Structure 1
């Protein structure tokens, strides 16, 4: 595996190639961490990317920070140890991690499992990991799910990278396509596409002109229509070339022919084409090619032949080298300058048909020229520049040699034409121009403002280094970018309108807009620009407008604060003369005391003071002539309805300030505050009565039941002082038999607002246990408490009474059960004797009836004795004093 070292440069390059570090959160990655946490049943899941200094979290589920240093990184061990998976069941027991701050401190990490994020070329970028504050293990299904999600993260990175590459390629293709269209339009070459399946033809604008067709005529233009317009003498060759081109395999074809025009004349056409698409059975489906109007070339062939001799003379008189060779690198022809140079090198010139390689030159030179000729044969036209050092003359010259293929009348390559000229003066001129450009760039780069040029479509052509400080980009990142890709979205329309104005000839100064910094924040900019019609470029200077905007914002905020303080404040600001007459009152007087500023005109402030406070306020006010500022303690001031309101006031002497010439008084209504203080005193008195002097004990504890407060009543109820309670756990006082019940009830408070705990035994300060009945309330959200409020009442006597009653009820049930059997026999006899008398119907004899009555009396006496015994046994079993 390649990514086995944190500092491995190839690994870091692979990580940077995805352009994902320090990017904003994206929902698709957050969904993965959420799913990972759910699958593994843990509270925390991270997509962690590790560079050479830190780990950045592309997504963090369960924590609220974006990165941590490597010193706290579990994930770095996956990279350094070069493993696909790392599991730590208990970090507290692992020497590698036990001293990590996230293990020792909050959040107290114990469990970690991370799956490697491995790029397709084998570099470990980071991990998809899950963490918990509890010790745990994952099963195989969870681990497989985590690995699958890790692969999905890498797939998303790859997709992100591919989309960026695709966008870059699309922009490049659009630029190249536009350039190609311009080139094609400039050369006058027609482009055609022939669909052989439906025998249809498509032509570009130049093609339509060359074929002398319009778009409507092209719709029904078939191959036979094309043949019908070809000169009869040229048609056989055209059909043969087309037949050869349509036979698989085909490398393409070219042909010249005469085409009939609408005016009855012919023009010469040169056409090239190639089959681009074949069917499965090798039948041609689609052809593509070009056409040129070569009429002038053909017309002037005779003229060209006529001037050939003159041309030869001109070529031979040139000091530039011209020669041509055949496909076997033998000389076809050359001008005089070429022959003179060869003769100088090897003592004699080449003859036509001789190889153009000589033993008189070094082998490495021969090998270089062979490569040039081979390249011309394989690629066609190209040029090379050569630097030639002549030691005998102590100077350097430069040459430019061009190579091109030479064709016969059938368009077949038959050789190579070569042209070489001395470009020393041009090179020297370019060097001077380049040097000047470098000097100009140095000057531009010293500017603190952005200096740049843009083409007509708004793409940056050049920009100075100030862009790094202002926008965060290197100049190379900006060049070739359209300005709309960098402007804050809301400013694009106004900026484009401004650019149109500049393009129409208007010079723009101090135009404002916002650009987006590389890190995402907006930068206010101030632009000046103009359009150069000759060079067809915008020349622009832009300044970072941040400080100016801050100053404007501060001024605006200052004005807003002034308006709020003076005009909308709840305080009343007034200006009085030395005699306490009103000169100015702020509009807030209407809101505070229902008296408008106009109503105060001509009034004296002392007329509104309560009689009991008047002398004190007056004395304070007149001290202002000796003291610059004073404070008047609470006093009563009359509102519009004659009600007295409590105020305090600060008085400032501004009698000598030309813009004021008076005493400034800032008055604040404290009527509600005075009432609130009274209510607070009453509340504190009630609190003291209820909490400190009540019969219940009130405590505050944390989620572990550790006491942070106990009311003074703890001393009276349990003989344990509040100081002894603080810092101890409530569970240390619970009777062992009641511990589990109380603990389970207490833990419910973390989920509900209030829990009532039935009586339980609590250890008294003297060592014995008492029964407490308790209500606990969750007040963690209350800032003044931030804990659990525990209200406990001693119910020992109540519990003892209940226990005694239950014991007595058990004894009564036992007595009732025993005596019921004794009572049941005489009652049964008595009932039988009664039934016997009821059914007598004069059948019994008198003596028999008498006997039955005696039996009834005997049974009744027996029942009476039994009842007396039950009452006596019950009295003996129950101590009445015990249940009082």
Structure 2
């Protein structure tokens, strides 16, 4: 097998291609080691990746270390011995490991079982292993599960690698100008386990999120439920692949489908699974697999097609010719203009893969184009200008064709790109410029700027008439004068330095100094000059800079005021183009979002907006084309820490303003205001729920006990609507026997903050009396209430129960008192008769003793009858109370 050597270059390159070494722990891998340890009933499980020097533990369940040197590695033997599975039931009896530092020292490994992590190209990357600290054995199911989980680890590594490849492709596409606005990052992976015997499902946290489920509803989630949430257009394919997977033997299933979410939207899901356990009659019992949210990936593919179509539309809309050929000069692709020209020449276009030479053109033309292609392959990019004369027409045209090499992603040469443009108008323009030189002198004399020449010593050789207007001198007064005589004294040194710079061969543009007007005034000047080495002459153009200086001063003051306003403002001022790309962001962004303005310049504003607000914000932003100003309702925007801030925006159309050429956006952070509003809203919602759904009735009365408010619960408690209470006195329905007590307690609340009124009777809407327990609180000074808050609870059942108990106790006391007197008389007689017998001492004869005994028996029977009556009466009292 490939890569079975620890130092094998291909194996190490394959391992490095996953970019997994020394990465942080990830839940998905920790869940696999936890599952492996649980299945194999071991305290430790590791995902071990082996390079040429050490083994790195991507996940280390039950072991507090992230790796060991390769000399101590058990896992390296799977690679060096080129085996898929290594089981060491007793490390102390295996010569390979008996002296290993991990066996004879901490952590004292006694058992090891590892399954190879084998890449698609056959390279062994490491192992998924389980470890125990005492010798042991694994059964077949545990071994099979360990192998399956090892394959799952490789699958996860491949998915992780695919995600990195997608990100690299995104960067590559952006560098080549493919104008791809959104490339969706690969999403997280969920793990599921389905028990087919009882149709139950186990999901990790990521799988719960991807499916849109929660742990509460998971117990009720059956296969039929799952099928009912799949999009009807995908259901047939899912059912087919699912049932094929459940038929023995099965390699598993891989299916993509849309699944209904709680909000009514569909999410694209990729499901991969395999049956891990079959019954003896080949019926599936246990499945295991992964699930991935590929919604963004699906959307990205759609967007990629859209961008590609747009690019093709732009390429095909130009009249310039664009085509590319391979190294054998066969057509790779071409735009519409190229195909139309070829069709015009030979009656039909070239097909892709055909040689781009036509029998309908002279052989000399074909040789010339072959020479161009060969020159590109040997020398690289170049351009050629051609003059074309059509004998059937009476004019000449000119073309410019550019050739360049075409490379693949690996930098290999794969062909030639060609671009041909009609430059007739440009050539004719150059010819017009030649004729324009003849008019130059006339223009000089009519120019408002000074146009002059000076010799190398600085004396004026020529000057146009503009000097009269700007300096007050006639041209004849200037010619022959040394220019420094006119320069303002403080600027002479600066002007001399500039002249030396021009003399050295540098062209000076927009050099500023001051000249002295004939009347003594100072005139700011703006110079551009060039030294002609051949003619030994300075050629200069000078402009009166007075108005510009004034404008600059005004602009400087204006900019200073603007800068102060922008930098010190708590609002963010930004400029965006119509694609929402930032071209300017004010420094206040640092205070609001914690990032420098440069971080946002060149990025798309939509990339920072919450997905739930994105479409709404885009719609409002795009409407600015037809408006002068647009206000965007509050939305969420991500700051430097990844937290969401609430913004409100006003955007102003300044596309036609040359100094701005964009959309000006004024952004205000309303996060705290939003939080306060949400807090108030939640508070009001809680209050409303407590008041409307509670078991108590809450009312507000004035100091005369007249209702101004009653909660909706009044209808449940008293069968009286809140509207019936408002404007009426609270004492109208108090029982006459309780009126004085309630009234006196009510008066107390005018003096103290709160009073509890013991239960009293209040008339129900149906006419009967119920018992209320009430707490009244003085809130007359609270502006939002301005009254007395009354909280009342129906305690009728409680009061009746307490009254019944008191009545029962009274009955029992009465029975006890009455019966105790009845019992006392026979007991006294009985005691006297017993004392008579005790003190007899031979005084009574036999007949008298028999008579005393009969009296004793009679008294005992009487006591027994009384006791039975007491018990029966007591039971009757209790029965009566229970029947109540």
The TM-score with structure 2 as length reference comes to: 0.43
Larger radius of gyration: 1
